[in-house]
């Protein structure tokens, strides 16, 4: 199986423009951006509850603590939410109007009490990428894009490993994509 593609900024904009045309824009946008701007796995996004993401006053937390049962490796980790993502999540939260902190943060179209499964969310992501004209996009594209973008900005691999929740730097290294543009710029920097 091939690796998920890494999106450039124009492709992310293309995806977000497509999401703006859909019925559940705020929900879909928030889910996608959690993968692109926080590096969350689709399964982690699917299992979020309101109490994981929001404070008692309804505002968005700056850190989401994932319990072991919420992560692929069964190791607790903290996901850091930057101000840009906080704003996006707040927009979604304001329109979704949480009724109970234990409800899924992303309810289904039919019920706010039922969350999307990781599998259905992965399928949804694939469909959203295809419908936006981005071939090869998958539920893992956001996570790979997140790590690659941070690496391209000079963030060290030890920090990337921690942000990704990996146990090994070798695992993190597999996520990083070196585009021809970045390779050429590296050589030109000499």
Question: Does 27 have pLDDT greater than 60?
Answer: yes
CA 171/CA 149 separation, integer angstroms: 17
pLDDT classification of 111: cutoffs 50, 70, 90: low
Which residues touch 132 (CB under 8 Å, ≥6 apart)?
Answer: 14, 15, 17, 18, 19
- The answer to whether 145 and 6 are in contact (CB under 8 A) is yes
Select 9-142's CATH number: 1.10.443.10, 3.40.718.10, 3.40.50.970, 3.40.50.150. Answer: 1.10.443.10
Interatomic CA distance for residues 161 and 172, integer angstroms = 6
> Would you list the domain boundaries of the chain?
9-142
What is the pLDDT of the chain when averaged over all its residues?
Answer: 91
Q: Which residues contact 112 (CB under 8 A, 6 or more apart)?
A: 96, 99, 103, 104
Distance of alpha carbon 164 from alpha carbon 143, whole angstroms: 8
Poorest-pLDDT segment among 63-67, 74-78, 97-101, 125-129: 97-101
Residue 120 to residue 128: CA distance in whole angstroms = 12
Q: Cα-flanking dihedrals φ and ψ of residue 112, to 5°?
A: -75, -15
pLDDT (mean) for 102-113 = 82
> At 1, is the pLDDT very low, low, confident or very high (cuts 50, 70, 90)?
low
* CA dihedral sign, ordered 114, 119, 124, 125: positive
What average pLDDT score do residues 133-151 get? 94
Q: Is the pTM of this model over 0.85?
A: yes
């Amino acid at each position: 199986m091939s690796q998920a593609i890494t999106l450039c900024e124009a492709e992310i904009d293309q995806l977000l423009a497509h999401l703006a045309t859909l019925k559940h824009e705020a929900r879909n946008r928030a889910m996608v951006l959690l993968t692109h701007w926080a590096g969350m796995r689709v399964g982690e996004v699917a299992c979020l509850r309101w109490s994981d993401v929001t404070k008692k006053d309804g505002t968005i937390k700056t850190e989401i603590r994932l319990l072991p049962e919420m992560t692929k490796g069964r190791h607790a980790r903290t996901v850091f939410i930057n101000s840009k993502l906080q704003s996006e999540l707040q927009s979604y939260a304001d329109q979704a109007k949480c009724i109970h902190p234990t409800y899924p943060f992303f309810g289904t179209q039919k019920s706010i009490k039922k969350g999307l499964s990781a599998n259905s969310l992965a399928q949804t992501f694939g469909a959203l990428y295809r419908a936006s004209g981005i071939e090869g996009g998958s539920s893992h594209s956001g996570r790979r894009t997140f790590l690659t973008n941070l690496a391209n900005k000079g963030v060290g691999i030890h920090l990337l490993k921690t942000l990704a929740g990996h146990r090994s730097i070798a695992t993190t290294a597999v996520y990083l994509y070196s585009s021809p543009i970045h390779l050429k710029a590296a050589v030109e920097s000499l």
